[in-house]
Structure 1
Amino acid sequence: MTETTRTEASKLMTEVEGISGAVLPEPAPAEAVTPLEQASPQEAEGIRQRMAELDMTDTTSIVQFGARAQSDLQSISQEMLSGVKNKDVGPAGDSLRQIVTTIRGFSVSELDVRRNRSWWEKLLGRAAPFANFVARFEEVQGQIDKVTDTLLSHEHKLLKDIKSLDLLYDKTLNFYNELGLYIAAGEEKLREIDATQIPAMEQAVADAPEADKVLHAQALRDLRAARDDLERRVHDLKLTRQVTMQSLPSIRLVQENDKSLVTKINSTLVNTVPLWETQLAQAVTIQRSREAAGAVREANDLTNELLKANAKNLREANAEIRTEMERGVFDIEAVKSANADLIATIEDSLRIADEGKRKRADAEKDLVELEGKLRHTLAAANSSKQAGGAV
């Protein structure tokens, strides 16, 4: 809530307490219409003045009989409507419910940074829980500022309405009493017409010459028609008076509701909203502490994992190094294998040498044999040449 709204709400608290503590006066309206013969001198004078407004030969005066009484009430009603035509109890109640809904909209489970995100959140790439929390807090703070300003505006309007309804109640009560005077005047006029004017007109018709009877009869008919119009008008005024009497407690009921709502709005602005904001601030601090604790926990877990991994690696490396250190320059198996290969090589050399000697000996025999054959062939060839020369 902004500082301006908080200051304004605090200023209105005294006025709200004064209005909520005031007892609304409820003067009981008179239910029955007082006739002229039973009226007080002041009321009797008022009834006679309103009877004087009637002209039974003028239909307009009958139709508008009692209309003047409503002028003051109509003016105050129009003034109220022009000032509060957009006022509705609904939006104020909606504003209160909006704050409650906004606060209840916090999901405590979403504040847990250790929870696993659902596949839907992973699919949509939703932000981490704390990032969501911060975003939602900023949104709620903005909403609270906006709603508190709206509530303050409703409070001003309702305070104005409560005062205007007092004036409307007084005007309505005056209109109700004024209607009683008009009804009494109308009924008295009807009795006067029935008791004196109509019988006098009937006698005039009876006494009139035959040529004038039609005119006197038409005048009598017009009087009776005007009398019936007045009776209907008086009946309408009675109905209007009854409805007006019903509106009086309705006005007080609206005032009481407005008073209760103003008190609730002011209490929300002065007490509830700051408490909610304090709780939200605590929630942010708690969440940040939890996040810091989680980071420390993860660091400790990483340190422990490194210690375990290093110890394991040290053991494996030490075993490899010590194994190599304990080995000789040459492995005995390697020496044995090399010695066996050397012996086999020597034996192969001796065998190959003996075989070479044998092959050379065989080759020498073959050479001697070949040489003998070659000599024999050459000797035979020389003998053949000498024999031919002799012949």
Structure 2
Amino acid sequence: MAETIQQKAAATLAEVEAVTAVVLPEPGRELITLDSAAPAHAAEITKRMAEIDMSNTQSIISFGSGAQAELQVISQEMLADVKNKDVGPAGDSLRNMVSTIRGFSVSELDVRRQRTWWEKLLGRAAPFANFVAKFEDVQGQIDKITDTLLGHEHTLLKDIKSLDILYDKTLTFYDELALYIAAGEAKLKDIDATDIPAKEADVKAAPEERQVMKAQELRDLRAARDDLERRVHDLKLTRQVTMQSLPSIRLVQENDKSLVTKINSTLMNTVPLWETQLAQAVTIQRSREAAESIRAANDLTNELLTSNAENLQQTNRIVRTEMERGVFDIEAVKKANATLIATINESLAIADAGKAKRAEAEVELVKMEHELRDTLASAKARKTGLGDTIGVKA
């Protein structure tokens, strides 16, 4: 995590602790009455009773609405703030961070793993080079998501403070409704006990020509009284709904507080731990690569020593053998001598065979000569001679 982001997270920690330490007050449960109210509350109830003008219908309809004005302002500001926000839920950022970390496979550190034919075809980097590149990418994503989480955290802290104000105003409105309800009920009690009987007496005591007018005034008073009773009933319903909204506000606050605490814990503890583990993974792998290089160098040295010793032994054997040999090997001399003797014998045998063949040829030549001579002698003995017999039939 970047140092600036870590400093921001640490600075926010105090604000998170202050916000989460706020204890919201509980709303009152029982409605008070003018008769049982303390002097201070009785004065407030009487003050609100004075707001009621039974001759003014609008006064009855708007009775108690002034207490809600400030609450509406706070609610509208919160709604406007929500509409103006352009941020995603903080939970999505947390899930994105977890997904990013889970997508980071430490098994890719194994440099002994051979690249598949598909990885080779695509020209992908070697395992550790790919791991380092992915580590840098994951680091950047973590920093980006962490910065986004800080923004969510500040937004949630602002929401929690706004909800504190809304809760206080809602609780004040809840208590104000109790005062208005008490004032309305006290006014109804006065009307039933005093105003209506007085109007009824006026109707009876009025001259005949004014009785219709007095009766109309009585009906108007009773109608206004019924309007006030309905308004007090509406205020009771509003108070009940308001009481239900208080736990809802508190629940939203608790959820926001939990999420803020989780975000801050993630920023202060989890993210540095992730980064430490990832950095350790890279450092361990680099140490492993260094050890592998040292082992390879030692293996090479041992191989060279062994190979040189074997080469020295073989070379020494060859040299010493050649040094101890004579100019000619006795075996070669013996073989050459035997070959020479065989050659001489073969030459003598061939010469004897040639001599015998020549003798035989001499005998044959003599024989052929005698035969030729006899044949010529026989031809001369004829009358015509050898030449006369050529071409003549016998």
Q: CA deviation at 1:109?
A: 4.8
The match for 2:310 among 288, 308, 312 is: 312
CA 1:367–1:269: 2 relative to 1, 3 Å? closer
CA contact (8 A) 2:109 2:128 kept: yes
Give the aligned partner of residue 156 of structure 2.
158
1:333-359 deviation digits (Å, cap 9, x = unpaired): 444443333333323322232232222
Distance 1:227 1:129, change over 3 A: farther
Residue type at the aligned position of 1:147: I
Alpha-carbon deviation of 1:38? 4.4
Tell me, yes or no, if the aligned pair for 1:165 and 1:251 is still in contact at 8 Å: yes
AA paired with 2:43? Q
Q: Pick which of 42-51 and 226-235 moved more.
A: 226-235
Residue in 1 aligned with 2:377?
379
| Partner secondary structure for residue 51 of structure 1 | coil
Moved more, 83-92 or 358-367: 83-92
Which residue in 2 is equivalent to 1:350?
348
The yes-or-no answer on 1:48 pairing with 2:55 is no
Residues 50 and 181 in structure 1, CA contact (< 8 A), matched pair in contact too: no
Question: What is the CA deviation profile of residues 100-152 of structure 1, one whole-angstrom value per residue up to 9, with x for unaligned ones?
Answer: 66557665554454xx4278x56545644432432332133212311321232
Distance in 1 between the 2:188 and 2:86 partners? 45
CA distance in structure 2 between the aligned counterparts of 1:178 and 1:371, rounded to whole angstroms: 174
Aligned equivalents of 1:296 and 1:337: distance in 2? 59
Q: Mark the CA change 1:332 to 1:173 in structure 2 (over 3 Å): closer, same or farther.
A: same
The 1:9–1:323 alpha-carbon spacing in structure 2 relative to 1, beyond 3 Å, is same
Structure 1 residue aligned with 2:301: 303
Contact 2:45 2:182 in 1 (8 A): no
Residue 177 of structure 2 corresponds to which residue in structure 1? 179
Cα pair distance change 1:291/1:201, threshold 3 Å: farther
- Name the structure 2 match of 1:8: 8
* 1:295 CA displacement: 0.9
Q: 1:122 to 1:228 in 2, by over 3 A?
A: farther
8 Å CA contact 1:36–1:47 kept in 2: the answer is: no
1:43–1:181 contact (8 Å) kept in structure 2: yes
Q: 1:230 and 1:90 mapped to 2: Cα distance?
A: 47
Q: TM-score, normalised by structure 1?
A: 0.74
Of 132, 135, 156, 1:134 maps to: 132
Cα offset, 1:314, TM superposition: 3.4
CA contact 1:179–1:241 (8 Å) conserved in 2:
yes
Residues 137 and 280, structure 1, Cα contact 8 Å, conserved in 2: yes
Confirm whether residue 31 of structure 1 aligns to residue 32 of structure 2: no
Gapped regions of structure 1 (runs ≥ 5): none
SS at match of 2:23: coil
When the two chains are superposed, the root-mean-square deviation of aligned CA atoms in Å is: 4.5
CA distance 1:208–1:378, shift in 2 (3 Å): farther
The one-letter code sitting in structure 2 at the alignment partner of 1:24 is V
Corresponding residue number in structure 1 for 2:368: 370
Segment of structure 1 superposing worse, 231-240 or 99-108: 99-108
Residues 1:74 and 2:75 aligned together: no
Change (3 A) 1:224 1:127: farther
Question: Partners of 1:325 and 1:280 in 2: how far apart?
Answer: 66
1:35 and 1:184 in contact (8 A); partners too: yes
Tell me, in whole angstroms, the C-alpha distance in 1 between the residues paired with 2:355 and 2:263. 128
C-alpha deviation, 1:176, in angstroms: 0.9
TM-score, normalised via structure 2 length? 0.73
Q: Where does residue 243 of structure 2 map in the other structure?
A: 245
Q: Distance in 2 between matches of 1:146 and 1:386?
A: 144
Distance of aligned partners of 1:42 and 1:345 in 2 relative to their CA distance in 1, 3 Å threshold: same
| 1:68-107 correspondence to structure 2 within 5 Å | 68-85=66-83, 91-93=89-91, 95-96=93-94, 99=97
Q: Deviations over 1:40-83 (max 9, x none)?
A: 4422333313432x668x5x766655444322211101112222
Q: Relative to 1, partners in 2 of residues 1:55 and 1:343: Cα closer, same or farther, differing over 3 Å? A: farther
Q: 1:229 to 1:135 in 2, by over 3 A?
A: farther
Q: Determine helix, strand or coil for the equivalent of 2:382.
A: helix
C-alpha deviation, 1:238, in angstroms: 1.6
For the residue of structure 1 that corresponds to 2:339, the secondary structure is helix
Q: Which moved more, 1:341-350 or 1:4-13?
A: 4-13
- How many pairs align? 375
State yes or no: 1:117 paired with 2:113: yes
Cα distance in 2, alignment partners of residues 180 and 88 from structure 1: 39
